[in-house]
Amino acid sequence: MNTVGNDIRITLWGSSHGSHIGCVLEGVRGGLELDTGRIAAEMSLRRPSPGIGTPRREDDEVLFLSGVTEGITNGDPISIMIANKDTRSKDYEQFRHRPRPGHADLTAIIRNPNHDIRGGGMFSGRMTAPLVAAGAVCRLGLEEQGVDVGAFTRGIGDVSDPQQRVLDDCRDSRSFDSRACNKELDERMVKAIMSASSEGDSLGGVVECQVENLPIGVGEPWFDTLDGELAKNMFSIPAMRAFEIGDGILSSRSRGSVMNDPFSLTGNEVFTTTNHHGGVLGGRSSGMPLVFRCFFKPTPSISKVQSTVDLESMKNVQLKIEGRHDPCIVPRAVAVVEAMTCHCIYDMMSRGGFLEN
């Protein structure tokens, strides 16, 4: 089933080159004021930046077909719809028997011979557009709980941001095409993307996400941990390949005396003096900022000639992919990571009985 979440649930439908894409968002309480300007702002954060993204142009106007009365949520399921306007489907039919390396063509077609392969069908990054809209609604619900979510580009190719970052940095990153935290990093990242692109190649990268003001204890017991649910959600995003909470990778090479974050008090509030654990202990929020990283592989669509197979002639063949693609998906993925985090956190808070209104 094409569904994610338990108490706040998204059911996704559509395909890259169908007439529309959309989702049904369930469980959002009535009485929430929908700020369409802010939803449009989130949508625009996901749109390709000129020069470093695909030339496909979609206005991504979000229609709310149900669940909203006069701009206020009414507690019913929220049906979200977005039109696909700028599609060019003719180039794709060959991938049905000549799967693109690094793509879902092979695994989709073998499982389902009727797979809609135009633009990658349901496996396309295009499907993340309604997720960003749904995430923007969830963000409104999180904000009334005081919970704040942000993300930024931690690295692209071999350009990596070495600094510790906070939520304010995430917000700053919105003004840079690469979603890096400052101008200097942005310039280096954009340059790296354009350099790869000019060679018909693509780049991977890392998105970091942070969540502040979570109450202590969000996360279900075995097996729906907060980090586990976040990881699963992030792996839905095309090209996601690794998930790290806090200093997870580093900690695997380290010692308990170094990685155990000591508890301390400020007034009556418990916190940890360091945050190697990234805000999750025992699968639940510790009250410290949530910090996690998503590692994305390079966009598999490159214009260099590649080797693949022809499933009709059963021969090895060479393939050159035409069409419009992002040489690096990471800057656009920042908006998707944020949106899916908003949804996941809102759902996990709801499941734990943390939502107050």
Q: Note whether 194 binds a second copy by CB under 8 A.
A: no
DSSP 43-111: HHHHSPPTTTS-S-----PPEEEESEETTEE-SS-EEEEEE--S---GGGGGGGTSPPTTSSHHHHHHH
Residue 343 and residue 5: Cα distance in Å, rounded? 8
Give the residue with the Cβ less far from a second copy, 55 or 200: 200
CA distances from 319 to 94, 100, 120, 224, 356 (A): 10, 8, 16, 42, 55
**Amino acid identity at 140:** L
36 binds a second copy (CB under 8 A): no
Radius of gyration (C-alpha) of the chain in whole angstroms: 21
Partnered with residue 191 across adjacent β-strands are: none
Which position has the token pair 């941001």?
161
Contact 319, 236 (CB under 8 A): no
Q: Are the C-beta atoms of 305 and 96 separated by less than 8 Å?
A: no
Least distance to a second copy, CB of residue 35, Å: 17
Q: Which of 41, 44, 55, 107 binds a second copy (CB under 8 A)?
A: 107
**Tokens describing residue 221:** 């017991």
Binders of a second copy in range 253-292 (CB under 8 A): 253-265, 268, 270, 272-273, 276-278, 281-286
271 upstream amide cis, omega within 30 of 0: no
CA dihedral of 337, 304, 313, 111, whole degrees rounded to 10: 0
**Residue 108 near a second copy by CB under 8 A:** yes
Q: Which residues lie across from 156 on neighbouring strands? A: 159, 205
Q: Should residue 341 be labelled a site residue for a second copy when binding is judged by CB under 8 A?
A: no
Of the candidate spans 44-52, 103-111, 143-151, 169-177, the one that interacts with a second copy by CB under 8 A turns out to be 103-111
Pick the stretch among 42-50, 137-145, 175-183, 251-259 that binds a second copy (CB under 8 A): 251-259
Binding part of the chain for a second copy, among 40-48, 98-106, 138-146, 165-173 by CB under 8 A, reads 98-106
The one among 50, 164, 221, 322 contacting a second copy by CB under 8 A:
221
24 binds a second copy (CB under 8 A): yes
Distance in Å, CB of 79 to a second copy, minimum: 4
CB of 175 to a second copy, least distance (A): 23
Nearer to a second copy (CB atom), residue 27 or residue 150: 27
Report the C-alpha gap between 206 and 355 in whole angstroms: 31
Q: Which of 205, 332, 342, 345 binds a second copy (CB under 8 A)?
A: 205
8 Å CB contact between 99 and 109: yes
Structure tokens at 136: 């923007």
Minimal distance, residue 319 CB to a second copy, in Å: 9
Is residue 19 part of the contact set for a second copy (CB under 8 A)?
Answer: yes
The distance of closest approach from Cβ of residue 313 to a second copy in the complex, given in angstroms and rounded to an integer, is 10
Our CB check for a second copy shows the closer of 41 and 249 to be: 249
Q: Tell me how far, at minimum, the Cβ of 143 lies from a second copy, in Å.
A: 18
Work out which of 88, 171, 183, 304 binds a second copy, going by CB under 8 A.
Answer: 304
- Tokens 């003004």 correspond to 175
CA distance 226 to 219: 4
Task: Map the footprint of a second copy across residues 131-170, applying CB under 8 A.
Answer: 155, 157-158, 160
Min dist CB 129 to a second copy, Å, is 13
